[in-house]
A and B are shown apart, each in its own frame.
Chain A
Amino acid sequence: MMMQKHGFLRRLLICGLLLAVGVTAPTHKAAAHPHVIVEARAEILFNEKGEVMAVRHLWRFDEAFSSFAKQGLDKDGKYTRETLQPLAEVNVKSLSEFSYFTRMKTGGKRLEFGKPENYWIDHDDKDGTLVLQFTLALAAPLPVAAAPLMIEIGDPEYFVAFEMAKAKPVALLQARAGCEARVREPASLDSAAASQLSRLPSSVRQLPPELSGLTQSLFNVVIVTCS
């Protein structure tokens, strides 16, 4: 009798606990990732020797994030580089923790680059969006020859969705003849993967290992070749 009662009680308890878990932690947050959408353009800067010196990012934030970020930074209703400079400072400072969402490689080797230079924010008066610009200089200028330069732009954790601009995603500045750039768009997220990602709360910055492989394909890759 005792045993029976104990078993029943235990089963009931497990039932109750399952219900409690079901009530307090069910379902998942839709639309948790991404939180900010960035339309990216990249300019590749060459030196007189025809070597790649740096990449300049031009990142247009989505309208809602732009509206939030620029609040109170106007002067008499106008947003200028000067009034937006404190925001640019905060942006690049915070981005350092995320390696500027940039990776540069050639021939399978990672290239080092320095801290952002020449950074500012331009306000697009037409749609009110903000465009953050900053330059990342390579530690050593790279003569692009046999192996192409690959610049990967993206957030492996998909907190920020990077999309390359439809018009003129890449520009080569002062490049010698025979240099070209193209963009490899990321594979579009399949619905299962997107759903897994969307389930992550926004506080999660470190993806679980089983998902980090999946998001590697979310990088936009700018490929620079010179013949």
Chain B
Amino acid sequence: MKMSARTPAIVALAALALLAFEVVAAAQGTTPFGVGRAEPAINPSSFGPLSGVASYIAVKQAEIYRLFASAMRQAAHDPTAIVTIIGLCLAYGVLHAAGPGHGKAVISSYLFATRETLRRGIVISFAASLVQGAMAIALVGVFALFFKATAAAMDQASRYAEIVSYGLVALIGGVLLVRKLAGLWPRHRLASAGGVAAGHLDDGTCCDGHAADPRMLQGKFDLRSAALAVFAVGARPCTGAVLVLVFALAQGVFAVGILGVLAISLGTGATVGLLAALAVGAQGLAMRLAARRSGLALAFQHIFEIGGALFVLLFGLTLLSAALISGPASL
């Protein structure tokens, strides 16, 4: 019985570790022209409900871009252009978040690790997207508007934000992992030593009351670690949002740029929220399936929590090392 609970756990952790290293971390840095940050990303795969939309957009990209550019030029004297901008930004946010950005991976894994509720998962997703938008507005507002900073200086600031963001992601993963393991081992020892009723883990008989326990124990910390996760994901402003703001600023319609970025945030939040809901749902389904078999539910709970925390940690470390290697912009 011990074997059957542990072997798959090891398999699951190994698979998660591999998944984390699927992260494409190489060549993160600037564009071929030496200014403007290129975004890091996890390895994309070729399935998903948006593939038709994506291929259409890829073909029409230059046209869509020109539509956006001309709308931005007209925004100062034509309010209908603002509607076009908001619509395009909303769509960009939805599709961008569906791509290989780090936000949804971190948030989904975080939700696995902490076993948050559906509602909190969605709130966390939207909060992270809004923080990300706010960071872009702050970056451009402070650096471009007030300090008249150069593109290279803004690249540098973005790079520091990236490093802070990825460092925090790794930190959250580490904290979740340590907290989980610290809570696991003493009880494990207790269980094998003397058979304390609430302490058993993989002896095949699960108690109903146990599942609610860790949530109550962790409830106090959850808000703090959730806030940290929101900030970790949001700290790194999205390149697209920065570009929209800078372009709006150049056209003298910074306020329109801010509206556009808020639309991007809402779109991003919607997609990340949907994926977070899927993550919470998948976990719930697995737990319910497992609950039919005695003893499995608890094993699954541990696998999800440890796996999720490990994934967040490895993901953060991989992105962090890539960001540190990529070096400063060269102006």
Contact = CB atoms under 8 A, between A and B. Distances in A.
A91 B54 contact: no
B151 interface: yes
Interface in A153-211: 155, 159-161, 163, 189, 191-192, 194-206
Contact of A24 (B154, B249, B300, B311): B311
B250 A67 contact: yes
B28 interface: yes
Interface stretch (B14-22, B77-85, B182-190, B192-200): B14-22
Interface string B14-58: 011001001011111011111110111111111111110111111
Nearest to A101: B32
B37 to A, nearest CB: 9
Nearest to A62: B65
B39 A28 contact: no
A30 B109 contact: no
Given A90-B330, A94-B30, A30 B4 contact: no
Consensus secondary structure, chain B interface? helix
Interface residues of A, number: 76
Contact of A202 (B19, B38, B53): B38
Contacts of B30: 94
A138 interface: no
Contacts of B47: 26-27
Contacts, number: 275
Interface of B: 4-5, 8, 11-12, 15-16, 19, 22, 24-28, 30-36, 38-51, 53-59, 61-62, 64-65, 69, 72, 92, 95-96, 98-101, 104-105, 108-109, 112, 144, 147-154, 239, 242-244, 246-247, 249-251, 275, 278-279, 282, 285-286, 289-290, 293, 296, 300, 303-304, 307, 311, 330-331
Interface of A: 2, 5-6, 8-10, 12-13, 15-17, 19-37, 61-65, 67-74, 86-87, 90-91, 93-95, 97-98, 101, 128, 132, 155, 159-161, 163, 189, 191-192, 194-206
